[in-house]
Chain A
Amino acid sequence: MTTSTTTGTMIEATDVGIRFKRNRSSRRSFKDLFSSRQRRSKPDEFWALRNVSFAVPAGEAVGVVGRNGQGKSTLLKLVAGVILPDEGTVEVKAGTAPLIEITGGFVDDLSVRDNVYLTAGLHGMSKAEIDERFDDITGFADIGNFLDTPYKHLSSGMKVRIAFAVITQLDEPILIVDEVLAVGDRMFREKCYKRIEEMLSQGRTMFFVSHNEKEIRRFCTRGLYLNDHGLALDSDIDSVLARYNIDYGA
Protein backbone atom coordinates (compact mmCIF):
# COMPACT_ATOMS: atom_id res chain seq x y z
CA MET A 1 0.00 0.00 0.00
CA THR A 2 1.26 3.48 -0.73
CA THR A 3 0.26 6.60 1.12
CA SER A 4 -0.85 8.18 -2.17
CA THR A 5 -3.97 6.08 -2.23
CA THR A 6 -5.21 7.54 1.06
CA THR A 7 -8.41 9.46 0.52
CA GLY A 8 -11.48 10.42 2.51
CA THR A 9 -11.26 11.90 5.98
CA MET A 10 -7.71 12.52 7.15
CA ILE A 11 -8.21 14.03 10.59
CA GLU A 12 -11.24 13.38 12.74
CA ALA A 13 -11.70 14.88 16.18
CA THR A 14 -14.69 13.74 18.21
CA ASP A 15 -15.69 15.58 21.41
CA VAL A 16 -12.10 16.28 22.25
CA GLY A 17 -11.32 17.70 25.66
CA ILE A 18 -8.07 18.20 27.53
CA ARG A 19 -7.45 19.81 30.88
CA PHE A 20 -4.38 21.32 32.45
CA LYS A 21 -3.43 22.34 35.91
CA ARG A 22 -3.84 26.01 36.51
CA ASN A 23 -0.99 26.14 38.93
CA ARG A 24 1.85 23.90 37.89
CA SER A 25 3.65 24.13 41.16
CA SER A 26 0.64 23.06 43.19
CA ARG A 27 1.10 19.99 45.25
CA ARG A 28 0.34 16.69 43.65
CA SER A 29 -0.57 13.56 45.50
CA PHE A 30 -0.27 9.99 44.37
CA LYS A 31 -4.04 9.66 44.61
CA ASP A 32 -4.42 12.61 42.30
CA LEU A 33 -2.14 11.11 39.70
CA PHE A 34 -3.89 7.79 39.47
CA SER A 35 -7.50 8.87 39.70
CA SER A 36 -9.70 8.11 36.73
CA ARG A 37 -9.45 10.46 33.80
CA GLN A 38 -13.23 10.57 33.47
CA ARG A 39 -13.70 12.28 36.81
CA ARG A 40 -14.96 15.81 37.02
CA SER A 41 -12.56 18.68 36.83
CA LYS A 42 -10.97 19.82 40.06
CA PRO A 43 -10.95 23.48 41.06
CA ASP A 44 -7.27 23.92 40.26
CA GLU A 45 -7.69 22.52 36.77
CA PHE A 46 -9.20 24.06 33.68
CA TRP A 47 -10.31 22.71 30.36
CA ALA A 48 -7.95 24.04 27.71
CA LEU A 49 -10.28 22.61 25.09
CA ARG A 50 -13.63 20.94 25.39
CA ASN A 51 -16.29 19.45 23.10
CA VAL A 52 -14.24 20.06 19.98
CA SER A 53 -15.37 18.04 16.96
CA PHE A 54 -14.38 18.45 13.34
CA ALA A 55 -13.27 16.40 10.34
CA VAL A 56 -10.71 17.35 7.73
CA PRO A 57 -11.01 15.66 4.34
CA ALA A 58 -7.93 14.78 2.29
CA GLY A 59 -6.41 17.68 0.42
CA GLU A 60 -7.89 20.45 2.55
CA ALA A 61 -5.83 23.20 4.20
CA VAL A 62 -7.28 24.22 7.54
CA GLY A 63 -6.19 27.30 9.47
CA VAL A 64 -6.76 27.56 13.22
CA VAL A 65 -7.62 31.07 14.39
CA GLY A 66 -8.01 32.42 17.89
CA ARG A 67 -6.48 34.61 20.54
CA ASN A 68 -3.53 33.58 22.66
CA GLY A 69 -4.36 30.96 25.24
CA GLN A 70 -7.51 29.70 23.54
CA GLY A 71 -5.99 26.30 22.82
CA LYS A 72 -4.68 26.66 19.26
CA SER A 73 -1.31 25.07 19.91
CA THR A 74 -2.89 22.48 22.17
CA LEU A 75 -5.22 21.45 19.36
CA LEU A 76 -2.29 21.26 16.98
CA LYS A 77 -0.36 19.05 19.40
CA LEU A 78 -3.36 16.79 19.79
CA VAL A 79 -3.55 16.38 16.03
CA ALA A 80 0.20 15.74 15.88
CA GLY A 81 -0.24 13.10 18.59
CA VAL A 82 2.38 14.53 20.95
CA ILE A 83 -0.21 14.98 23.71
CA LEU A 84 -3.24 12.83 24.38
CA PRO A 85 -6.82 14.01 25.04
CA ASP A 86 -8.56 13.44 28.38
CA GLU A 87 -11.93 13.14 26.65
CA GLY A 88 -12.94 12.09 23.18
CA THR A 89 -10.67 10.92 20.38
CA VAL A 90 -8.44 12.38 17.71
CA GLU A 91 -8.03 10.08 14.75
CA VAL A 92 -5.32 10.83 12.23
CA LYS A 93 -5.51 8.43 9.35
CA ALA A 94 -2.18 8.95 7.63
CA GLY A 95 1.37 9.91 8.48
CA THR A 96 2.08 13.47 9.59
CA ALA A 97 4.98 15.80 8.95
CA PRO A 98 4.90 18.04 12.02
CA LEU A 99 6.55 21.44 11.75
CA ILE A 100 6.45 21.87 15.52
CA GLU A 101 9.63 22.69 17.43
CA ILE A 102 11.38 21.50 14.33
CA THR A 103 14.90 21.80 15.68
CA GLY A 104 13.95 19.71 18.72
CA GLY A 105 15.25 16.40 17.44
CA PHE A 106 18.67 17.71 16.51
CA VAL A 107 21.62 16.74 18.69
CA ASP A 108 24.21 19.47 19.26
CA ASP A 109 27.23 17.21 19.23
CA LEU A 110 26.40 15.26 16.09
CA SER A 111 27.21 16.49 12.59
CA VAL A 112 24.53 17.94 10.33
CA ARG A 113 24.67 14.78 8.23
CA ASP A 114 24.08 12.47 11.21
CA ASN A 115 21.30 14.75 12.42
CA VAL A 116 19.49 14.62 9.09
CA TYR A 117 19.56 10.81 9.15
CA LEU A 118 18.44 10.73 12.78
CA THR A 119 15.51 13.15 12.49
CA ALA A 120 14.23 11.88 9.17
CA GLY A 121 14.56 8.34 10.49
CA LEU A 122 12.59 9.11 13.64
CA HIS A 123 9.82 10.46 11.44
CA GLY A 124 9.72 7.11 9.69
CA MET A 125 12.03 7.39 6.67
CA SER A 126 14.29 4.47 5.87
CA LYS A 127 17.99 4.94 5.21
CA ALA A 128 17.54 4.33 1.48
CA GLU A 129 14.83 6.99 1.28
CA ILE A 130 17.02 9.50 3.09
CA ASP A 131 19.97 8.67 0.81
CA GLU A 132 17.75 9.39 -2.17
CA ARG A 133 16.57 12.76 -0.80
CA PHE A 134 19.71 13.84 0.99
CA ASP A 135 20.80 16.24 -1.76
CA ASP A 136 17.33 17.75 -2.01
CA ILE A 137 17.29 18.35 1.73
CA THR A 138 20.71 19.97 1.96
CA GLY A 139 20.14 21.85 -1.29
CA PHE A 140 16.89 23.34 -0.01
CA ALA A 141 18.51 24.32 3.28
CA ASP A 142 21.37 25.93 1.34
CA ILE A 143 23.74 24.57 3.91
CA GLY A 144 26.84 24.55 1.68
CA ASN A 145 29.84 22.77 3.08
CA PHE A 146 28.69 22.60 6.69
CA LEU A 147 27.51 19.00 6.34
CA ASP A 148 30.13 17.56 8.66
CA THR A 149 30.10 20.47 11.10
CA PRO A 150 28.66 19.73 14.54
CA TYR A 151 25.08 21.00 14.61
CA LYS A 152 25.80 23.35 17.52
CA HIS A 153 28.21 25.37 15.38
CA LEU A 154 25.56 26.35 12.84
CA SER A 155 23.97 29.79 12.91
CA SER A 156 20.42 29.83 14.24
CA GLY A 157 19.13 30.56 10.73
CA MET A 158 20.90 27.52 9.33
CA LYS A 159 19.54 25.35 12.12
CA VAL A 160 15.97 26.25 11.27
CA ARG A 161 16.61 25.88 7.53
CA ILE A 162 17.97 22.36 7.76
CA ALA A 163 15.19 21.34 10.15
CA PHE A 164 12.50 22.75 7.85
CA ALA A 165 14.10 21.01 4.87
CA VAL A 166 14.08 17.63 6.61
CA ILE A 167 10.46 17.77 7.75
CA THR A 168 9.11 18.99 4.41
CA GLN A 169 10.91 16.18 2.60
CA LEU A 170 9.09 13.60 4.69
CA ASP A 171 6.51 12.98 2.01
CA GLU A 172 3.75 12.41 4.54
CA PRO A 173 0.19 13.18 3.41
CA ILE A 174 -0.55 15.49 6.35
CA LEU A 175 1.40 18.63 7.13
CA ILE A 176 1.09 20.22 10.56
CA VAL A 177 2.47 23.74 10.86
CA ASP A 178 2.89 25.76 14.05
CA GLU A 179 4.03 29.31 13.31
CA VAL A 180 7.51 28.17 12.29
CA LEU A 181 7.41 30.59 9.43
CA ALA A 182 8.01 33.46 11.79
CA VAL A 183 11.69 32.56 11.76
CA GLY A 184 14.38 32.83 9.11
CA ASP A 185 15.13 35.74 6.80
CA ARG A 186 12.61 36.98 4.28
CA MET A 187 14.12 35.14 1.35
CA PHE A 188 14.05 31.82 3.13
CA ARG A 189 10.54 32.46 4.40
CA GLU A 190 9.35 33.01 0.84
CA LYS A 191 11.06 29.76 -0.14
CA CYS A 192 9.22 27.98 2.67
CA TYR A 193 5.90 29.47 1.51
CA LYS A 194 6.59 28.20 -2.00
CA ARG A 195 7.47 24.76 -0.68
CA ILE A 196 4.27 24.59 1.36
CA GLU A 197 2.21 25.74 -1.63
CA GLU A 198 3.88 23.10 -3.77
CA MET A 199 3.06 20.45 -1.19
CA LEU A 200 -0.55 21.61 -1.01
CA SER A 201 -0.88 21.51 -4.79
CA GLN A 202 0.26 17.90 -4.66
CA GLY A 203 -2.85 17.14 -2.66
CA ARG A 204 -1.56 17.16 0.87
CA THR A 205 -3.73 17.96 3.85
CA MET A 206 -2.58 20.80 6.08
CA PHE A 207 -3.36 21.82 9.64
CA PHE A 208 -2.03 25.29 10.27
CA VAL A 209 -1.77 27.60 13.27
CA SER A 210 -0.75 31.20 12.79
CA HIS A 211 -1.42 34.70 14.04
CA ASN A 212 -0.62 36.09 10.64
CA GLU A 213 -3.84 36.70 8.72
CA LYS A 214 -1.98 37.04 5.43
CA GLU A 215 -0.36 33.63 5.80
CA ILE A 216 -3.65 32.01 6.71
CA ARG A 217 -5.43 33.52 3.71
CA ARG A 218 -2.60 32.48 1.44
CA PHE A 219 -2.72 28.78 2.32
CA CYS A 220 -6.02 27.90 3.89
CA THR A 221 -9.46 27.36 2.44
CA ARG A 222 -11.17 26.52 5.69
CA GLY A 223 -10.90 27.93 9.19
CA LEU A 224 -11.48 26.75 12.73
CA TYR A 225 -12.12 29.57 15.19
CA LEU A 226 -11.29 28.71 18.78
CA ASN A 227 -12.81 30.91 21.45
CA ASP A 228 -13.51 30.32 25.11
CA HIS A 229 -11.71 26.94 24.99
CA GLY A 230 -14.12 25.54 22.47
CA LEU A 231 -14.74 25.50 18.74
CA ALA A 232 -16.73 28.68 18.06
CA LEU A 233 -16.93 28.49 14.28
CA ASP A 234 -15.99 25.96 11.61
CA SER A 235 -16.43 27.49 8.18
CA ASP A 236 -14.64 28.83 5.10
CA ILE A 237 -11.60 30.92 5.91
CA ASP A 238 -13.17 34.29 5.00
CA SER A 239 -16.13 33.90 7.35
CA VAL A 240 -13.88 32.66 10.13
CA LEU A 241 -11.50 35.60 9.83
CA ALA A 242 -14.40 38.03 9.55
CA ARG A 243 -15.95 36.67 12.74
CA TYR A 244 -12.60 36.78 14.55
CA ASN A 245 -12.10 40.38 13.48
CA ILE A 246 -15.59 41.34 14.67
CA ASP A 247 -14.94 39.70 18.06
CA TYR A 248 -11.50 41.16 18.58
CA GLY A 249 -11.29 44.01 16.09
CA ALA A 250 -7.90 43.38 14.51
Chain B
Amino acid sequence: MTISAAARPTERIQRSPVGRYRHSLWLLTKRDLHVRYATNALGYVWSILDPLLMAGIYFLVFTVIFHRGGITEEPYIVFLLSGMLPWTWFNGAVSDFTRAYSRDAKLIRSVAIPRTIWINRIVLSKGIEYLFSLPVLAFFVIVTGAQVHWQLALMPLALLIQAVLLIGLGLLVAPLVMFFRDLERVVRLLLRLLFYVSAVLYPATAVPKDFPIFKVFSDLNPLVGLFGIYHSAFFPNDLHWDLVLSSAIGSVIFLIIGWLVYSRTIRSVLKEM
Protein backbone atom coordinates (compact mmCIF):
# COMPACT_ATOMS: atom_id res chain seq x y z
CA MET B 1 0.00 0.00 0.00
CA THR B 2 1.36 3.41 -0.89
CA ILE B 3 0.45 6.94 -0.01
CA SER B 4 0.17 9.35 -2.89
CA ALA B 5 2.74 12.08 -2.62
CA ALA B 6 0.17 14.67 -3.63
CA ALA B 7 -1.75 14.03 -0.43
CA ARG B 8 0.97 15.70 1.56
CA PRO B 9 1.61 19.08 0.04
CA THR B 10 4.13 20.61 2.41
CA GLU B 11 7.46 18.90 2.64
CA ARG B 12 8.64 18.72 6.20
CA ILE B 13 12.20 19.13 7.17
CA GLN B 14 13.16 15.94 8.97
CA ARG B 15 15.19 16.67 12.05
CA SER B 16 17.84 14.32 13.31
CA PRO B 17 17.14 12.89 16.77
CA VAL B 18 19.76 15.26 18.21
CA GLY B 19 18.19 18.22 16.45
CA ARG B 20 14.77 17.25 17.70
CA TYR B 21 16.11 16.83 21.23
CA ARG B 22 17.64 20.28 21.18
CA HIS B 23 14.51 21.78 19.70
CA SER B 24 12.28 20.33 22.45
CA LEU B 25 14.78 21.15 25.19
CA TRP B 26 15.01 24.74 24.08
CA LEU B 27 11.22 25.10 23.78
CA LEU B 28 10.66 23.88 27.34
CA THR B 29 13.49 26.00 28.67
CA LYS B 30 12.04 29.05 26.97
CA ARG B 31 8.65 28.18 28.42
CA ASP B 32 10.12 28.05 31.93
CA LEU B 33 11.84 31.39 31.49
CA HIS B 34 8.81 32.93 29.84
CA VAL B 35 6.51 31.87 32.66
CA ARG B 36 9.02 33.15 35.17
CA TYR B 37 9.81 36.50 33.61
CA ALA B 38 6.63 37.43 31.77
CA THR B 39 3.79 36.45 34.07
CA ASN B 40 4.62 38.79 36.90
CA ALA B 41 5.60 42.42 36.80
CA LEU B 42 8.80 42.08 38.80
CA GLY B 43 9.89 38.90 36.98
CA TYR B 44 13.61 39.61 36.72
CA VAL B 45 13.80 41.31 40.10
CA TRP B 46 12.35 38.25 41.85
CA SER B 47 15.03 35.98 40.44
CA ILE B 48 17.85 38.10 41.88
CA LEU B 49 16.11 39.35 45.01
CA ASP B 50 16.56 36.11 46.90
CA PRO B 51 20.36 35.75 46.53
CA LEU B 52 20.78 39.49 47.01
CA LEU B 53 18.80 39.50 50.24
CA MET B 54 20.62 36.45 51.56
CA ALA B 55 23.99 37.95 50.68
CA GLY B 56 22.94 41.12 52.50
CA ILE B 57 21.98 39.14 55.59
CA TYR B 58 25.25 37.16 55.68
CA PHE B 59 27.19 40.36 55.12
CA LEU B 60 25.45 41.92 58.09
CA VAL B 61 25.78 38.89 60.35
CA PHE B 62 29.39 38.03 59.54
CA THR B 63 31.01 41.44 59.18
CA VAL B 64 28.99 43.61 61.53
CA ILE B 65 28.12 41.16 64.28
CA PHE B 66 30.81 38.45 64.25
CA HIS B 67 33.62 40.57 62.76
CA ARG B 68 34.55 37.68 60.44
CA GLY B 69 36.68 35.25 62.43
CA GLY B 70 39.74 35.02 60.24
CA ILE B 71 38.06 35.49 56.86
CA THR B 72 39.91 38.38 55.33
CA GLU B 73 38.52 38.42 51.82
CA GLU B 74 37.84 42.02 50.86
CA PRO B 75 35.38 43.27 49.61
CA TYR B 76 33.41 40.54 51.35
CA ILE B 77 30.13 41.39 49.60
CA VAL B 78 31.75 40.50 46.24
CA PHE B 79 33.04 37.25 47.74
CA LEU B 80 29.53 36.45 49.02
CA LEU B 81 27.75 37.26 45.77
CA SER B 82 30.23 35.41 43.56
CA GLY B 83 29.31 32.30 45.55
CA MET B 84 25.63 33.00 46.28
CA LEU B 85 24.60 33.44 42.65
CA PRO B 86 25.86 30.04 41.40
CA TRP B 87 24.56 28.50 44.62
CA THR B 88 21.11 29.85 43.68
CA TRP B 89 21.43 27.99 40.38
CA PHE B 90 22.43 24.78 42.19
CA ASN B 91 19.80 25.11 44.88
CA GLY B 92 16.98 26.06 42.50
CA ALA B 93 17.75 23.24 40.10
CA VAL B 94 18.03 20.52 42.76
CA SER B 95 14.80 21.58 44.46
CA ASP B 96 13.04 21.62 41.09
CA PHE B 97 14.33 18.11 40.31
CA THR B 98 12.01 16.77 42.99
CA ARG B 99 9.07 17.94 40.88
CA ALA B 100 10.61 17.37 37.44
CA TYR B 101 8.18 14.59 36.51
CA SER B 102 5.16 15.30 38.65
CA ARG B 103 4.85 18.94 37.55
CA ASP B 104 4.50 18.10 33.87
CA ALA B 105 2.74 14.76 34.29
CA LYS B 106 0.03 15.55 31.72
CA LEU B 107 2.57 16.57 29.13
CA ILE B 108 4.73 13.50 29.77
CA ARG B 109 1.64 11.32 29.33
CA SER B 110 0.92 12.82 25.92
CA VAL B 111 4.23 13.67 24.23
CA ALA B 112 6.89 11.08 23.47
CA ILE B 113 10.08 13.10 23.80
CA PRO B 114 13.24 11.74 25.45
CA ARG B 115 12.61 11.74 29.19
CA THR B 116 15.95 13.29 30.10
CA ILE B 117 14.66 16.57 28.68
CA TRP B 118 12.52 17.09 31.78
CA ILE B 119 15.71 17.16 33.85
CA ASN B 120 18.01 18.97 31.47
CA ARG B 121 15.58 21.78 30.85
CA ILE B 122 15.69 22.59 34.60
CA VAL B 123 19.51 22.65 34.54
CA LEU B 124 19.45 24.88 31.47
CA SER B 125 16.75 27.34 32.53
CA LYS B 126 18.21 27.79 36.03
CA GLY B 127 21.65 28.18 34.44
CA ILE B 128 20.36 30.92 32.16
CA GLU B 129 18.79 32.64 35.14
CA TYR B 130 22.21 32.53 36.78
CA LEU B 131 23.83 34.16 33.76
CA PHE B 132 21.11 36.82 33.78
CA SER B 133 21.93 37.57 37.41
CA LEU B 134 25.62 38.26 36.72
CA PRO B 135 25.09 42.01 36.05
CA VAL B 136 24.23 42.30 39.75
CA LEU B 137 27.66 40.93 40.62
CA ALA B 138 29.26 43.23 38.06
CA PHE B 139 27.51 46.16 39.69
CA PHE B 140 28.97 45.35 43.12
CA VAL B 141 32.41 44.72 41.63
CA ILE B 142 32.41 48.19 40.10
CA VAL B 143 30.95 49.94 43.14
CA THR B 144 33.43 48.35 45.57
CA GLY B 145 36.33 48.58 43.14
CA ALA B 146 37.16 44.88 43.48
CA GLN B 147 40.10 43.52 41.46
CA VAL B 148 39.29 41.20 38.57
CA HIS B 149 41.89 38.48 37.91
CA TRP B 150 42.67 36.24 34.95
CA GLN B 151 40.89 33.38 36.73
CA LEU B 152 37.68 34.93 35.44
CA ALA B 153 38.53 33.05 32.22
CA LEU B 154 37.89 29.79 34.14
CA MET B 155 34.16 30.56 34.28
CA PRO B 156 33.30 28.20 31.37
CA LEU B 157 35.04 25.37 33.24
CA ALA B 158 32.98 26.11 36.34
CA LEU B 159 29.76 26.24 34.30
CA LEU B 160 30.64 22.89 32.71
CA ILE B 161 31.43 21.17 36.01
CA GLN B 162 28.26 22.53 37.59
CA ALA B 163 26.11 21.48 34.62
CA VAL B 164 27.54 17.93 34.66
CA LEU B 165 27.03 17.68 38.42
CA LEU B 166 23.47 18.97 38.19
CA ILE B 167 22.51 16.63 35.33
CA GLY B 168 23.87 13.71 37.35
CA LEU B 169 21.95 14.74 40.46
CA GLY B 170 18.81 15.30 38.39
CA LEU B 171 18.98 11.84 36.82
CA LEU B 172 19.38 10.46 40.33
CA VAL B 173 16.80 12.48 42.23
CA ALA B 174 13.97 13.03 39.75
CA PRO B 175 13.05 9.35 39.16
CA LEU B 176 13.57 8.27 42.78
CA VAL B 177 11.23 10.96 44.11
CA MET B 178 8.42 9.30 42.15
CA PHE B 179 8.74 6.22 44.37
CA PHE B 180 9.90 7.71 47.64
CA ARG B 181 7.95 10.90 48.25
CA ASP B 182 9.86 11.54 51.46
CA LEU B 183 12.93 12.18 49.36
CA GLU B 184 11.57 15.62 48.54
CA ARG B 185 11.91 16.68 52.19
CA VAL B 186 15.24 14.92 52.57
CA VAL B 187 16.59 16.81 49.57
CA ARG B 188 15.45 20.11 51.01
CA LEU B 189 17.20 19.42 54.32
CA LEU B 190 20.38 18.25 52.59
CA LEU B 191 20.46 21.39 50.48
CA ARG B 192 20.30 23.56 53.56
CA LEU B 193 23.13 21.58 55.14
CA LEU B 194 25.19 21.63 51.94
CA PHE B 195 25.00 25.38 51.73
CA TYR B 196 26.90 25.82 54.98
CA VAL B 197 29.50 23.10 54.40
CA SER B 198 30.33 23.84 50.75
CA ALA B 199 32.59 26.88 51.02
CA VAL B 200 30.05 29.29 49.58
CA LEU B 201 30.40 31.83 52.40
CA TYR B 202 34.06 31.21 53.18
CA PRO B 203 37.18 30.07 51.31
CA ALA B 204 38.02 26.36 51.30
CA THR B 205 41.14 27.11 53.38
CA ALA B 206 38.93 28.22 56.26
CA VAL B 207 37.89 24.61 56.90
CA PRO B 208 39.82 23.69 60.09
CA LYS B 209 42.38 20.87 59.73
CA ASP B 210 41.75 19.69 63.29
CA PHE B 211 38.19 18.75 62.39
CA PRO B 212 38.95 15.66 60.26
CA ILE B 213 35.40 14.64 59.30
CA PHE B 214 34.61 18.13 58.00
CA LYS B 215 37.99 18.35 56.27
CA VAL B 216 37.63 15.02 54.46
CA PHE B 217 34.04 15.82 53.46
CA SER B 218 35.13 19.22 52.22
CA ASP B 219 37.92 17.72 50.10
CA LEU B 220 35.54 15.22 48.53
CA ASN B 221 32.57 17.60 48.11
CA PRO B 222 32.46 18.56 44.42
CA LEU B 223 30.90 21.90 45.30
CA VAL B 224 33.96 23.12 47.22
CA GLY B 225 36.34 23.11 44.26
CA LEU B 226 33.55 24.48 42.09
CA PHE B 227 32.88 27.52 44.26
CA GLY B 228 36.64 27.99 44.51
CA ILE B 229 36.66 28.67 40.75
CA TYR B 230 33.78 31.13 41.03
CA HIS B 231 35.50 32.99 43.89
CA SER B 232 38.90 32.98 42.21
CA ALA B 233 37.89 35.55 39.59
CA PHE B 234 38.18 38.12 42.38
CA PHE B 235 40.11 36.19 45.03
CA PRO B 236 42.77 34.19 43.14
CA ASN B 237 44.03 32.52 46.34
CA ASP B 238 40.79 30.56 46.47
CA LEU B 239 41.73 28.53 43.38
CA HIS B 240 43.00 25.10 44.38
CA TRP B 241 43.61 22.80 41.45
CA ASP B 242 43.48 19.66 43.60
CA LEU B 243 39.98 20.63 44.73
CA VAL B 244 38.98 21.49 41.15
CA LEU B 245 40.14 18.05 40.05
CA SER B 246 38.23 16.40 42.89
CA SER B 247 35.20 18.45 41.87
CA ALA B 248 35.44 17.40 38.21
CA ILE B 249 35.87 13.71 39.09
CA GLY B 250 33.04 13.87 41.62
CA SER B 251 30.71 15.43 39.07
CA VAL B 252 31.44 12.74 36.49
CA ILE B 253 30.85 10.05 39.14
CA PHE B 254 27.47 11.59 39.93
CA LEU B 255 26.67 11.68 36.22
CA ILE B 256 27.45 7.96 35.90
CA ILE B 257 25.46 7.00 39.00
CA GLY B 258 22.60 9.22 37.85
CA TRP B 259 22.53 7.63 34.42
CA LEU B 260 22.51 4.11 35.89
CA VAL B 261 19.61 4.93 38.20
CA TYR B 262 17.71 6.81 35.51
CA SER B 263 18.01 4.12 32.85
CA ARG B 264 16.91 1.40 35.27
CA THR B 265 13.93 3.25 36.69
CA ILE B 266 12.46 5.25 33.82
CA ARG B 267 10.05 2.44 32.79
CA SER B 268 8.56 2.38 36.24
CA VAL B 269 8.48 6.17 36.41
CA LEU B 270 6.33 6.32 33.29
CA LYS B 271 3.93 3.77 34.77
CA GLU B 272 3.53 5.96 37.82
CA MET B 273 2.54 8.97 35.71
Q: Which residues of A contact B (CB under 8 A)?
A: 1-7, 18, 20-21, 28, 33-34, 37, 57-60, 77, 80-84, 86, 96, 98, 100-105, 107, 109-110, 114, 118, 121-124, 126, 129, 132, 171, 173, 201-204
B6 → chain A, closest Cβ, in Å? 9
B4 within 8 A of A: yes
Bound state CA distance, A202 and B4, in angstroms?
8
B267 contacts A122, CB within 8 Å? no
A122 contacts B270, CB within 8 Å? no
B31 contacts A33, CB within 8 Å? no
A220 → chain B, closest Cβ, in Å? 15
Bound state CA distance, A123 and B1, in angstroms?
26
Most chain A beta-carbon neighbours within 10 Å: one of B8, B106, B112, B271 = B112
A74 → chain B, closest Cβ, in Å? 10
User: A114 contacts which chain B residues (CB < 8 A)?
Assistant: 34
User: Which listed residue (A84, A86, A202) contacts B8, Cβ 8 A?
Assistant: A202
Q: Which residue of B lies closest to A21 (CB)?
A: B271
Q: Given A37-B267, A58-B3, A83-B271, are A122 and B28 neighbors across the interface (CB < 8 Å)?
A: yes
Q: Given A58-B1, A104-B107, are A129 and B10 neighbors across the interface (CB < 8 Å)?
A: yes
B178 → chain A, closest Cβ, in Å? 10
List the one stretch of B12-20, B207-215, B224-232 in contact with chain A. Answer: B12-20
14 additional contacts, CB 8 Å, given A60-B1, A122-B107? A7-B2, A80-B110, A82-B112, A82-B273, A84-B270, A100-B109, A100-B110, A104-B106, A104-B109, A104-B110, A110-B31, A122-B113, A124-B15, A171-B8
User: A129 contacts which chain B residues (CB < 8 A)?
Assistant: 10, 12
Most chain A beta-carbon neighbours within 10 Å: one of B14, B35, B108, B109 = B109
B5 contacts A4, CB within 8 Å? yes
Q: Given A80-B112, A100-B109, A110-B35, are A121 and B27 neighbors across the interface (CB < 8 Å)?
A: yes
A73 → chain B, closest Cβ, in Å? 10
A211 → chain B, closest Cβ, in Å? 20
A4 contacts B11, CB within 8 Å? yes
User: Which listed residue (A21, A37, A83, A124) contacts B20, Cβ 8 A?
Assistant: A124
B1 contacts A105, CB within 8 Å? no
